[in-house]
Structures are given as C-alpha cells and as structure tokens.
Amino acid sequence: MNRSTLLHHARLLAAAGLLAALAACGSDRQAPPAALPSAAAPKHDSRLALVPAPASMTPGEGRLALGNGTTVLAGDEAARAVAGQFAALLERGRGIRLRIGDDKQGAQGAIRFVLDPARADAGREAYLLEVTPAGATVRAADATGLFHGAMTLLQLATIDAAGAWLPAVRIEDAPRFSWRGFMMDPARHFWSVDQVKQVIDAMALHKLNVLHWHLTDDQGWRVEIRKYPKLTEVGGCRIPAGDGGIDPVSGQPRPYCGYYTQDQVREIVAYAAARHITVVPEINQPGHATAAIAAYPELGSTSTPLQPSSEWGVFPNLFNTEESTIAFLEDVIGELVPLFPGTYFHIGGDEAVKDQWEASPRVQARMREVGAKTEMEMQSHIVARLEKFLAAHGKRLVGWDEILEGPLPPEATVMSWRGTEGGLKAAREGHDVVMSPSGDLYLDYLQTESPYEPPGRPATITLRQVYDFEPVPAELEEDRRHHILGLQANLWTEHTRTWERFEHHVFPRLAAMAETGWTPAARKDYDDFLRRLPAQLERYRAWGIGYALTPFQVDAVAVDDRKAGTVEVALDNPLGYAVHYTTDGSEPSASSPAYKAPLTLTLPARLRAAAFADGQPLAPARDYAWDAASLLTRSDEQLGICPDAGRLLLRLEDDGPADGERAIFNTTIFYPCWQWNAAELDGVAAVKVRAGRIPYYFQLAHDEPHRTFEPARSAHGELDIHAGGCNGQRVASVPLPATTGEDGFVELEAPLAESPGGRQDLCLRFTGDTRPQMWVIDRVTLQLR
Ligand code: ACM
C-alpha cells in the first residue's frame, strides 16, 4: 500500500542525486523524440537500412527526388487503394503531399503501383520495387504484395530530415513465413480501439500479417456477445487489488472495465484488413475462464461464487463439461465467426489445471458418457467438438500446445508456447504450427538488465535472443518443415498497465521478430540488423511509435573502495553500441572519450554517458553521481536475489496510488529473499531497510507448495539479516510492524551485535507468511559506526 509514491520518488531522486545506477526510481518512459539531438544527415546507405531486410536488394545509381506534387500513379482500384495509403502515410511521417493520378500515361519522376498478373508465381505477398532517377515502380500480382512494396518505399523515404528522395535500388522481395504474428492481451489490461489501430499500423510497417487478439481471460471478458450480455456487464470489470481498486475520493471500490462492441470489432478487423493483416480472435477455454463463470455461474465447475480476478497466475476455474456449456461456446464462436473473415479461430486450451474436474462427480460422469479416460481426454473431446463446429463454418482451429496432450483432430493448428518441443511434436504428427516460445518471444519479459526497465517478468529476453530465435527446429524432418507456418511474439499485459510500457516492451524487439518472419534465413545477420536499427528508430520517431530506450542507453555498475575513497565504474550498452562519456558534467558527444575498460574515479564523482552509432547519440545520456554516502545504499534493483529464491523473480508495481506513478520492486514470490553480494561490512553498525508492502495477488495452482517461508518468531514476523549468505550467521533481526506508515513504507533499523567485517554476501529476508500482503525491499543502507 502506498499513497505517496510520487513524493517517494522525488525524495529518492533528491537523496541520491542523479544516482541512476543506484536508484530504484527507474522510469520506463522514453523521452519524447524532441529530447534527442536532431540527427545530422546520416550516411547514404542508411536509407537502404530496411527492416525487415528484403530477400534481395541491389543498390542503383542516383536518386529520385520526392516532394509536394510528386505524382503517384495507379491503374486499377486495388492499386489505387495502396497508392492512397502510401500517400497518406508519407504525409503523416514526412509531411510530403503526393498527387494521386491515373496511370494512363507515364509521368516523369512518378511512383507507380502496378498489379501485374505475370508475377503470380512469386506469391501474393511478393513484390518487385525499382527506383531510378526517372521514377519508381512497385509491381505485384496481388494488392498484398503492392502494400508490402509500399511499406518498403515508405521506409526508404522516412529517413533523414535534410532532404526527401528515394535512393536508386532494385528490390525483389517475398516473405519466408506466412504467419508473422503479434499477440495482444486486452484481458489483463485493456487497450482502446485507437491503441489497437496503432498496433496494426506498426505491424504493417514491419510487414507482419497476423494479429492474435486474446479476448478473454480470468481477469476480463473483452468482447460483446449479444446472446450473453453479462459476459461483458459482469465479466468485463474487475476490482484491481489493493489501493488501485479504491476510488481515492469516495473510498468506494473502483472497477477496471473494458470491452469491444461488435461494431468496434468490425471496425478493427476492417482496419487490419486494409493493411493486409488478419485478426485471429481467441476465446480461451476450458481454463482462463473465471470472468465468464463469474458472469454465468452455471458454466463453471465450482459452487464457489467467482468475480473477474485481479490476481495473476494460473487459476483452478474451468468451464464445466455439460452439453449446455459446449453449446454456449458454440454460440459465442458462432456470433464471432461472421466478424472475423480470416481462416483461423483460436480456442485457447492452455494452463487448464484439472483439480475442479477431478473433484466434480458430475464431470466424472460426463467423462464416462463421452468415453474420456482422463480429464485431458475430456478437454480433447471439447476441442474436437469446437473443431467440427469451426470447420462447419469454414474456419480452422488453433490452440495453445496443451491441446496436443490429448487426441487432436489433424486439422488443428498448434501454437507452441512452452518452448518449441510442442511445435516439433505437432509438426511431426502432421499439424500446422506457429512457434511462439515463452523463452524467446514473450515480450512481457524484460529486455535489458537496466534498473530502468518497467514492471515485467525479469528473466531477460534480449533483442539478440528474439532475433536469433529460429522457428524451424533443426531436428525437424525435411518433409515436415512446411508445417511450420511461422512465428509470433506475445505481449501478456499483467504487468503492463500503460500504453508507454506497452510500446516499451514491443519496440524494437518486434522488429527483430519481424525480420525472422520475413527475411530468408541465409540473409539474416544480427550485426547488420544493429547497423540498420538506428534508421528504424528514426522511422519510429517519424511515425509516432514509442520504443524502449533502455537498450540504447548506458548502464553503470559501481564497485566502491571506501578506504581508498574511489569507485570503479563499469559501463555497458546492452546492445554493444559504442559508449562515450564525460566526467565534468558536460553532455557526452562522439568525440568524448570512448569507454574501453572500467574507470577508477575519485569520490565524489560524476559521469555522463551515452551510446552512439554513426556519430549520433542513440538516446539521451544517463547521468551518474557517487559520493561516500551514496555508496552505502542499494536499491532492490541492485540487490541480487538469494540463490534459493530464483523460481519466479518479478518486477512488480506498487498497488497505489490509484492514479499516477507507482514504485516498482524486484521481488520473488516463492521465497522473498534478497542479497547484497560482497557488501563491505567493515565498520558497519546497523543495516537500515526501507520496505514496502504490496498485495499478494498470485494464483500458483500446482506450484503453490513450492513457496517457502522462514517461520516467524513474533506476531508479524521479522526482517532477518545474515552475513556470509543466507546459510551464514544471523547478524541482525528486527520485528516487523503490523502495517506500514501513511506513505506505504516502513524504515527498519537492524543494529549489528558485532560487525562481521570484510566483504560478505548480506542476505535479507522476511519471515512468516504475510498473505494477503507481502513485504518487499525498496532500499538497503549500511550505517557506519
Ligand atoms: C500462455 O502463455 N499461457 C499461453
């Protein structure tokens, strides 16, 4: 609970100076584009820095000028539509107004979009783009190919504020995979129609073609179903945990609501279709169904009344197995099928723990009726029914890889999320497969080790890891490889409460995934991708796409030598771009000293550093300062977690204030234990800990028994401190209060009986099971004698 985090942030900033490496006040907001120094004309070839890289590209001689009045020519209607889209986007991104003409006669210097049936062999998505000083032409057999060609032209044109022209080039291009997807989760946090459209726009610019729309989950039912209005009336609202769910004025519960009407669905699907993107809806069953069961309890497998949940994790609540419930699912799907013209319909199927079915005599009786020997076979029975229903409506079923655990109709497509093993097995069994493994393509995992990352799952999935993911397993037999339709990046939004954080997680990692989806494997080259990335960032700024700055900034790790009065500072840019720094407080430039090896600075010290490509800063410089006092403090981001605590490290946001900025904590929910590795303990008299408290809002299903608590020795438990790691001697302990202070924090002071001395790992952990709350560490300070 925390009512004054803003104050906390302000104070922390003041106390720490601009102690970025040491402060827990990481902002995930990228600075607005205006904060970046305006880029001087980049090198010539940055215009050809296309993302995703085309299948083949031959630079030509000269350039084609672009300006207000440059003509775009298109013959038939489909080509005219693409020409119009290109002109609108160019005006939006570059402020250039093209004139759209009829392709009756060629115009000097014009851009032509030509539907060319002779190119049909290359495929619907393929295009040929030729730019010469005399004009530009995009040719394709289909409007989809023309559109991809238009997006390439737009990329060529959206570089370099100094002059508008297209470099001469010949590009012959077609995608490697037919499914290049992104999954959006409006169930945990809701995204407006306008935000969905922004996602679609950005997908088009990356040549992605499938938007997987995760419309239902435990926390919310997000799509209007006319036959079942309570799905959205009841299932569309949850009360957020803790202070976030209390109206600060009235003190009453404040629901968090949202759903898309069917008219809005039509609008979004049409918007996507105009950008050659197919929307695949997901109705999740039999698990992730709490919101639906809260609306219609007769659908559930429990007699306990349910509410749409504001907790995260895996819930026990499954739809029951009655014919009437299958009819309900068919009704829902039946209402949605006409709204989604695409081939695929996603029926979920993941994380359906079967405890309720095992405990239900009625479900057990139904299993006997349908001949299901296991609960998984019961699930398969429902999947098979839905598959038939979808096939009768001309649709193909896709589901998460758990659906492979029981008998599965051969027509079903498998989305492999628990690694690639499910996808490999499915392809071998003859199913089509989309690869979206959580360890490589889940964008709610953080992307750098920076303390400035927003909340998320802090197992780090770097840009490189996303880039390097290969959807076709090496061991998959040649004659089964065609079953790998492609890949998909997923953004779950439990920990993503704001649009800025959404964009932070998605960009630029989506660009890396897009390249794998589009570019021939043999042409992929990570170093080359990094060289092209600054141009893509320039386009993001022109197109109004927010992106993570953390990969483009400089992190500092400082090791103090208190006796010498110095600090040794290691600098790092997460992507390996060149780092330049100053120590006199001035803005670093490309001619400032280049960082090569750790620096030894005399206290007090200041350091400003930025990462550079082609002589230009990639993001605003970070500003660091250290003095003798600041080196005695560590934020939770700088602490390690205890060796036994690593099952699920989360970067969690405070529950309050209801509106505005909230503190963020690194914590583990299985074993709340932190470690200050190699702390200098000479002369230390006490350890001060600033601790916060957040709701314990997790459902762990079968992982629940893996949680560990040290037994409490007093009414509210205590904070224990051990030296030499958690198995070392307990050197201090302080009882915990019943509640925090008004500001949501407590300051705990633990005097050391005797100073252990030397450098030792300091282990800090809370005892007792404090649910429904949990204590978290915000900051640790060593107090000297
Ligand atoms: C999933 O991440 N549960 C599909």
> Which pLDDT belongs to residue 1?
44
* Pocket of ligand 1 contains residue 351 by CB under 6 Å: yes
Report residue 17's pLDDT band, with 50, 70 and 90 as the boundaries.
Answer: very low
- Residue 31, pLDDT > 60, answer no
- Residue closest to 182 by CA, chosen among 434, 386, 550: 434
- Residue 743, pLDDT > 90, answer no
* Residue 265 Cα to ligand 1 middle (Å): 23
* Pocket of ligand 1 contains residue 469 by CB under 6 Å: no
Residue % of the chain over a pLDDT of 90: 82
- Residue 701, pLDDT > 50, answer yes
**Mean pLDDT, residues 438-454 taken together:** 96
**Mean pLDDT, residues 245-272 taken together:** 97
In this predicted model, what pLDDT tens digit does every residue of 216-239 receive, in sequence order?
Answer: 999 999 999 999 999 999 999 999
CA-proximal residue: ligand 1, atom 3 (nearest): 350
* Pocket of ligand 1 contains residue 312 by CB under 6 Å: no
Under 8 Å CB-to-CB from 301, ≥6 apart: which residues?
317, 318, 319, 320, 321, 356, 357, 360, 363
Tell which atom from ligand 1 comes closest to the C-alpha of 415. 4
* Residue 417 Cα to ligand 1 middle (Å): 6
For domain 56-173, say whether CATH 3.30.379.10 is its number: yes
Judged by phi (left if over 0) then psi (alpha if -120 to 50, else beta), residue 17 lies in left
**Mean pLDDT, residues 351-357 taken together:** 98
- Residue 563, pLDDT > 90, answer no
* Residue 700 Cα to ligand 1 middle (Å): 14
* Residue 315 Cα to ligand 1 middle (Å): 13
Q: Are the beta carbons of 400 and 417 closer than 8 angstroms?
A: yes
- Residue closest to 487 by CA, chosen among 526, 447, 439, 433: 433
Tell which atom from ligand 1 comes closest to the C-alpha of 400. 4
> Which pLDDT belongs to residue 28?
34
d(CA 199, CA 510): 11
* Pocket of ligand 1 contains residue 172 by CB under 6 Å: no
In this predicted model, what pLDDT tens digit does every residue of 642-655 receive, in sequence order?
Answer: 887 766 788 999 99
- Residue 69, pLDDT > 60, answer yes
* Pocket of ligand 1 contains residue 614 by CB under 6 Å: no
> Which pLDDT belongs to residue 144?
98
> Which pLDDT belongs to residue 5?
32
Q: To which H or E segment does residue 397 belong?
A: strand 396-400
* Pocket of ligand 1 contains residue 350 by CB under 6 Å: yes
Burial of 81 (0-12, 13-18, 19+ CB in 10 A): middle
Cα-Cα-Cα-Cα dihedral sign, residues 335, 336, 342, 345: negative
Of the residues 130, 172, 267, 351, only one is catalytic, namely: 351
* Residue 612 Cα to ligand 1 middle (Å): 37
Q: Are the beta carbons of 653 and 40 closer than 8 angstroms?
A: no
Report residue 15's pLDDT band, with 50, 70 and 90 as the boundaries.
Answer: very low
> Which pLDDT belongs to residue 105?
61
* Pocket of ligand 1 contains residue 315 by CB under 6 Å: no
Burial of 365 (0-12, 13-18, 19+ CB in 10 A): exposed
- Residue 427, pLDDT > 60, answer yes
- Residue 712, pLDDT > 60, answer yes
SS3 state of residue 625 = strand
The mean-pLDDT minimum among 9-18, 107-116, 308-317, 493-502 falls in: 9-18
Q: Which residues pair with 773 in a beta bridge?
A: 695
Please state which of the four CATH numbers 1.10.3720.10, 3.90.1150.10, 3.20.20.80, 3.40.190.10 is assigned to the domain occupying 179-518.
3.20.20.80
In this predicted model, what pLDDT tens digit does every residue of 117-169 receive, in sequence order?
Answer: 999 999 999 999 999 999 999 999 999 999 999 999 999 998 875 568 899 99
> Which pLDDT belongs to residue 649?
80
**Mean pLDDT, residues 618-636 taken together:** 95
SS3 state of residue 310 = coil
CA-proximal residue: ligand 1, atom 2 (nearest): 417
Report residue 30's pLDDT band, with 50, 70 and 90 as the boundaries.
Answer: very low
Q: To test ligand 1's pocket by mutation, which of 347, 434, 436, 492 has the most ligand atoms within 8 angstroms of CB?
A: 492
> Which pLDDT belongs to residue 104?
67
Q: To test ligand 1's pocket by mutation, which of 282, 315, 350 has the most ligand atoms within 8 angstroms of CB?
A: 350
> Which pLDDT belongs to residue 14?
26
- Residue 660, pLDDT > 90, answer no
**Mean pLDDT, residues 484-497 taken together:** 97
Tell which atom from ligand 1 comes closest to the C-alpha of 438. 2
Instruction: Quote the DSSP letter at residue 456.
Output: B
Tokens of 149: 């060609």
Name which residue leads in pLDDT, 754 or 600: 600
> Which pLDDT belongs to residue 4?
33
Burial of 217 (0-12, 13-18, 19+ CB in 10 A): buried
**Mean pLDDT, residues 740-754 taken together:** 91
Report residue 106's pLDDT band, with 50, 70 and 90 as the boundaries.
Answer: low
Enumerate the domain spans of the chain. Answer: 3-29+633-784, 56-173, 179-518
* Residue 219 Cα to ligand 1 middle (Å): 14
pTM of the model: 0.93
* Residue 107 Cα to ligand 1 middle (Å): 53
Q: How high is the mean pLDDT of the chain?
A: 91
> Which pLDDT belongs to residue 648?
73
**Mean pLDDT, residues 26-39 taken together:** 33
**Mean pLDDT, residues 461-485 taken together:** 98
**Mean pLDDT, residues 553-572 taken together:** 94
Is 335 catalytic? The answer is: no
The CATH homologous superfamily for domain 3-29+633-784 is: Galactose-binding domain-like (2.60.120.260)
> Which pLDDT belongs to residue 16?
30
Three-class secondary structure assignment of 504-554: HHHCCHHHHHHHHHHCCHHHCCHHHHHHHHHHHHHHHHHHCCCCCCHHHCC
d(CA 336, CA 238): 23
**Mean pLDDT, residues 172-181 taken together:** 98
**Mean pLDDT, residues 396-421 taken together:** 97
- Residue 366, pLDDT > 50, answer yes
* Pocket of ligand 1 contains residue 581 by CB under 6 Å: no
- Residue 43, pLDDT > 70, answer no
In this predicted model, what pLDDT tens digit does every residue of 588-608 receive, in sequence order?
Answer: 999 999 999 999 999 999 999
Report residue 22's pLDDT band, with 50, 70 and 90 as the boundaries.
Answer: very low
C-alpha to C-alpha distances, 336 to 51, 263, 322, 340, 462, nearest whole angstrom: 34, 11, 22, 7, 36
Q: To test ligand 1's pocket by mutation, which of 417, 445, 700 has the most ligand atoms within 8 angstroms of CB?
A: 417
Name which residue leads in pLDDT, 117 or 754: 117
* Pocket of ligand 1 contains residue 442 by CB under 6 Å: no
